[in-house]
A and B are shown apart, each in its own frame.
Chain A
Amino acid sequence: MTSHHSTGSPVSPTEEAGSTDLLAEVARTVDAVPGVARREPSVGDFLRTLWKKSTSAEDQAPDTQGLRLDQVDGKASLTVAVWVSREAPGNPLMVSQEVASRVNHTLIERGIAPGSHQIIVRETE
């Protein structure tokens, strides 16, 4: 079994090639869902992103905060916490399912099998 864990602040020189790009693409996919704003998923994840140091300005460029991507046995599972706008089309459950659907599409386009995602709606605004 191989596993890999990516969080919102890409940081390590040992980071697997391509994982930063993947995380940035997933972030863009989430951001493209109408009415969705990303937030930090948990205290632990948040603190980990503070501890790690960026390797370069280029690595810092993609805004991937609030995302976590776990890759296990070739399957990628996303954890993301969001706020949902009250103006969004559909209720927060529908919006969350749209996030999952679009992320799956992005992963499949990259040849990665989608795993089991965790989407947390912390607030509506």
Chain B
Amino acid sequence: MTDDESLECGRTVESVCETVDSEPDAHQRDCPYCGEVRERLKQLDRLAREAKEADSSLEIEPHVRRRIVDFARSNLRRGADIPVHREPAATVSFSEMLIARTARETVDTFPGFTARRCRVRTIATPDHGHQILGLSIGVVMAPDAVVENLDRNVRDAVIDAVARKLGAHVAEVDFTVEDVHYD
């Protein structure tokens, strides 16, 4: 299991998948992220059963099954393709999930802050080929965390991490404090 399959609440897609046939636990009952995955998995199951009932002879060849599973994995919750570098010869895009995860992981390294949803947008015409990006990040903070740290430290760290780890240029990072956790 890799971090890419982690939900914003910290649980994994796999953990939801394993429990989809049973009643949701207390966390899953209240969690919108787990709830969404549960619903999607159930819908997938319904569609698969309908397809099987519609054609009892329906069989799938192993190599086709493998390709479908690979495709589902590579596209699961990866979001839109965001152009990050444009030249006449080539446009390079990253999945929104890849950029968002890099930003969230950076926020999470700061004590007292936990990133939730992260949206990625293009905000300006390319500069020397680099498409300038803006991020909107929802944050949960501990009651003793200093909110000014978002401006003082976290924003620059996010911009630096996305540039260093991915090669994409971020110019704007907006934070929204969505909740305070009294753990």
In which size bucket is the chain B interface? 20 to 34
CB distance B4 to A123 under 8 Å? yes
CB-CB under 8 A from B85, the residues of chain A are: 93, 96-97
Binding site for B on A (CB under 8 A): 39-40, 43, 46, 49-50, 65, 81, 83, 90-94, 96-97, 100, 104, 114, 116-125
CB distance A117 to B98 under 8 Å? no
CB closest residue in chain A, given B130: A93
CA distance A92 to B88 in the complex (A): 19
CB-CB under 8 A from A114, the residues of chain B are: 89
CB distance A92 to B91 under 8 Å? no
What are 25 A-B interface contacts by the 8 Å CB criterion?
A: A39-B70, A39-B71, A43-B75, A46-B71, A81-B74, A83-B74, A90-B167, A91-B166, A92-B94, A92-B167, A97-B92, A100-B90, A117-B90, A118-B93, A119-B90, A119-B91, A119-B92, A119-B93, A120-B81, A120-B93, A121-B93, A122-B95, A122-B98, A123-B97, A124-B166
Interface of B is mostly: mixed
CB-CB under 8 A from B91, the residues of chain A are: 116-119
